Structure 1
Amino acid sequence: MLDVPDPELRERLTAALGIARWVDEVAAQAPYPDVATLVAAGRSAATPLSDAELDEAVAHHPRIGERAEGTGTALRLSAGEQSGLGRADEGVDAAIARGNAVYEERFGRVFLIRAAGRTREEVADELQRRLTNAPEEEAEEAKEQLRQIMELRLRTLFPEDGAAA
C-alpha cells in the first residue's frame, strides 16, 4: 500500500508532472495499493493534456543537454535522467544546442524528450525529426513525452520497497 502523507504525496507528484490539475486528480484517489495502480491513475489523469498544461509542465524542465539549475526533486530527477545520455560529445552537444534554439523559435517552448534510455545521438536525431512536425502534431508528441517522463518518475519516487528516491 502506498500510503504517503498528503503534503509529501503532492510534492512527489509535482516532481513527476508539474501540472496542478493532474496533481489534484491523482492525489484525490490516494492511497494506492501499489505503484502499478498509481502509474495507471497518473496516465489516465494525464490523457489528454491541454496545451496550457503542456506549457505548465514544460516550465519545470531544463533544456535537454543543459544542466538543471536550482534545487528540488524535479530538477534532481532531470539531472539524473540527462546524465544517462552518456559522455559529452562536442559535435552532438552543439547540434542539440542548435536544435534547441530552432525548436524554441518554431514551437515557442523547450524541446521535451524522455532522456532515460536514450543516447545523445538518439536525442539529436529525434530533435531533428520533430522539427519537421506541424505545431499541433508536435504538441501531441511533447505531451506523450511528458507522460513517459511522469511514469518513469512515479516509479522512481514511489519504489515498491517504500523508500523514496
Structure 2
Amino acid sequence: MSARLPAGLARFNTAEPDTAAHLLHEVCTSRGWADAVLAKRPYDGLDALYEASDAAMSGLSADDLAEAMAGHPQIGRPKPGDPVSAREQRGMAGASDGLKAELLDLNLAYQERFGHVFLICATGLTGERMRDAARARLGNTPEREREIVRAELTKINRIRLARLAEAEGDPS
C-alpha cells in the first residue's frame, strides 16, 4: 500500500465486525450486501471498496434488493431527524407544494405497481428531475425496474461509502 488510506476507511478496516456491520447498515440495509463487503476487508483504497460494493450489489437476490430498498424513505419525505436522508433529498427542499403533491401521487402509483418505494439516487437532482424519472419509470416492466433500482442503489452506496471512508473521528 503506497497511498495513505482515508481515516474513515482505515478505521473501517480495523473495526470490530459488529461495528463495521453497523457502519455498513447505515450505507445499505441489505444484510447480504453488508456480509459480502465485510468479507473482503481490509481494503487498500476507496476503489477496492467500491469494487466490492458493486460486486455485492450485482449479486443480490430480489429479496436482498427488497431489504435494501426498505431502508429508503419516499422521495420528498426524508426520514425525520435523519441528516443523510435530508442531504440526499435536498433537491426537494425548495419544491413547490404542487410538485411535492405530484411526486407523492407518483410515489403511490409506483409503489402500487412495483410493491416498493420509488428509488433514485437523488443526490444533486432537482425535484423536477426526480418527478420526471418517476413518471418515466412507471412504464417499465418489473424486471427492468428491478435492474434500474439495483443501479440506483449502487450509486447511492458509492456516495455513502465515500462519506464513510472520509469520515474523521470515531465511526461508532
**TM-score normalised by the chain length of structure 1:** 0.88
**Runs of 4+, deviation exceeding 3 Å:** 161-164
1:104 equivalenced with 2:115 (yes/no): no
1:151 equivalenced with 2:158 (yes/no): yes
| Partner AA of 1:32 in structure 2 | Y
Matches of 1:54 and 1:24, distance apart in 2: 14
1:54 equivalenced with 2:61 (yes/no): no
Q: Aligned to 1:95, which of 97, 102, 110?
A: 102
| Partner AA of 1:11 in structure 2 | H
Q: Aligned to 2:75, which of 64, 69, 75?
A: 64
Counterpart in 2 of 1:83?
Answer: 90
| Partner AA of 2:164 in structure 1 | L
Count of residues paired in the alignment? 159
| Partner AA of 1:151 in structure 2 | R
- Runs of at least 5 residues in structure 1 that lack an aligned partner in the other structure: none
Identity %: 35
Secondary structure of 2:89's counterpart equals helix
**TM-score normalised by the chain length of structure 2:** 0.85
Moved more, 15-24 or 85-94: 85-94
Secondary structure of 1:65's counterpart equals coil
Instruction: Provide the alpha-carbon RMSD of the alignment.
Output: 1.7
Q: Aligned to 1:26, which of 13, 24, 37?
A: 37
> Cα distance, 1:86 vs. partner?
4.5
Q: Which has the higher contact order (CA 8 A, sep 6+)?
A: 2
> What does 1:96-135 align with in structure 2 at a 5 Å threshold?
96-135=103-142
> What does 1:1-20 align with in structure 2 at a 5 Å threshold?
1=5, 2=10, 3-5=13-15, 6-20=17-31
- Runs of at least 5 residues in structure 2 that lack an aligned partner in the other structure: none
Matches of 2:57 and 2:75, distance apart in 1: 22
Matches of 1:67 and 1:147, distance apart in 2: 19
Larger radius of gyration: 2
Matches of 1:11 and 1:125, distance apart in 2: 34
Query: Contact conserved, 2:33 with 2:60, CA < 8 A, in 1?
Result: no
